Amino acid sequence: MNAVKALLLAVIVAGLGVAVWWYYGGTPQHSLALMADAVRARDYETARYFVDDERIAETASKSVLDAAMTQFTNKMKADDNPFSGLGVAAFQMMAPRIKDTAKDNIKESIKQALSGDDTLTNRSGALRFDSNRFSHLRIEQCVVSGNTAEVVIGGIPQPNPAQITEVHLRMARIPNSRDWRIEEVPELAQAYVKLLDSEKTSPQPSEAANVTQPTVPAVTVSKPNRVLELSTNGVCGIDYLNAPVWDGEKTWLPLKDGKHETKEDFGGSSTITVKHVFCVGRGVGEHALLVTDWLSCGASCNDTGMVQVYEPQAGHPVLIQQIGFDSDAVGTDATFDKDALTLTVTGRSNDGSAHCCPRNLDVVTYQWEGQEFVQTSYKRVPVPPS
């Protein structure tokens, strides 16, 4: 009889365990855990299943546009600009393009985060982001109402530029599934608004001299892993002046004699110009470096520098690393020392200076380590006289 009771108790306990696991497997918490595991494993396709990046980017970009419009209008009024009405009207005409650009940038950021991009996961030499600071993230609250859920994430690293203490996730059950998907992150837009506001209170030149130099330079490093559809056994012999160039986001653009020009809406234009082509080694293990300048002009001009690293894979050049920097200042460039195998990127600092009047440059040195450039040093210096 005791044996029968013990067997019955074991069956009941096992049944309860299965029931508990079945319940947990259908919760937002379980979906978030699966997404986190996929990010750590650099499994983008699995991670993206739990995130509606299109809806998140659409909602956030609308708020970004509203914030930019408010800031621009207030600035025009504060400056007592006699052409403020014309300026606001021009801004409104450009609003759709501004919103689309913001949306594309947000989607790319989400993709990098879900991909476990090196610049977001604190690998050796990647100083853009320290994932260890996010090791204390935790679910503070989860309220489910039918097929929707409100989740509050705590443990946000402090301090942070956006002054955020917690993040709210709006999730929805995926149709015909027990899994949940993130559909909105309101703090994305809130963070942008706060960062816009902080720019208005940035230190003036006399105050900036006393500010501690930041540890992160104003560059972006990513690994696009995009295949250039050209058949080749190597990458150093390619005519990059007349080959397509990756636009840094979503497509390849054709070059002719080292240039690509595009006419934008409302009379604007953008021009891509090849500045340097370098070769890292030849034969086995060779890589090519393409340095380009991206100039976009509308009501004003914005200049961006881009370093792109190619390697041969399966008979095609593959873009394996990309380093972007702000070129809106005298003295910006990217140069390669083939003997020391070092790349020096000099870009405009993100120091809050006015668009017209850059104050500082970030000089970043990278060492070639066989498959990628790894940052070895960084310093901030004043912009040289023009």
Select, from the ranges 47-56, 80-89, 130-139, the one with the highest average predicted confidence (pLDDT). Answer: 47-56
CA-to-CA dists, residue 92 to 58, 98, 138, angstroms: 18, 10, 41
Mean pLDDT to the nearest integer, 123-132: 39
Element (H, E) at 376: strand 373-382
The answer to whether residue 238 scores a pLDDT higher than 80 is yes
pLDDT digit string, tens, across residues 343-364: 999 999 988 787 778 899 999 9
Neighbouring residues of 97: CB distance < 8 A, sequence distance ≥ 6 = 264, 265
**DSSP letters for 255-303:** -BTTEEEEEPGGG-EEEEEEEEEEEESSSTT-EEEEEEEEEEESSSEEE
> What are the φ and ψ backbone dihedral angles of 89, each rounded to 5 degrees?
-60, -40
Select, from the ranges 10-19, 38-47, 249-258, the one with the highest average predicted confidence (pLDDT). Answer: 249-258
Classify residue 316 as exposed, middle or buried by CB count within 10 Å of its CB (0-12, 13-18, 19+): middle
Neighbouring residues of 18: CB distance < 8 A, sequence distance ≥ 6 = none
The answer to whether residue 178 scores a pLDDT higher than 70 is yes
The pLDDT of residue 162 is 66
**DSSP letters for 248-259:** SSS-EE--BTTE
Boundaries of every domain in the chain: 28-197, 219-382
Per the prediction, the chain carries an average pLDDT of 77
Mean pLDDT to the nearest integer, 206-226: 68
Lowest mean pLDDT among 19-28, 70-79, 100-109, 128-137: 128-137
> What are the φ and ψ backbone dihedral angles of 225, each rounded to 5 degrees?
50, 55
The pLDDT of residue 14 is 44
Measured CA to CA, the distance from residue 59 to residue 64 in angstroms comes to 9
pTM, 2 dp: 0.48
Mean pLDDT to the nearest integer, 245-260: 87
Question: What Rg, from alpha-carbon coordinates, does the chain have?
Answer: 25
Percent helix, strand and coil across the chain, each to the nearest 5: 35, 30, 35
The answer to whether residue 119 scores a pLDDT higher than 60 is no
**Of residues 10 and 225, more confidently modeled:** 225
The answer to whether residue 129 scores a pLDDT higher than 80 is no
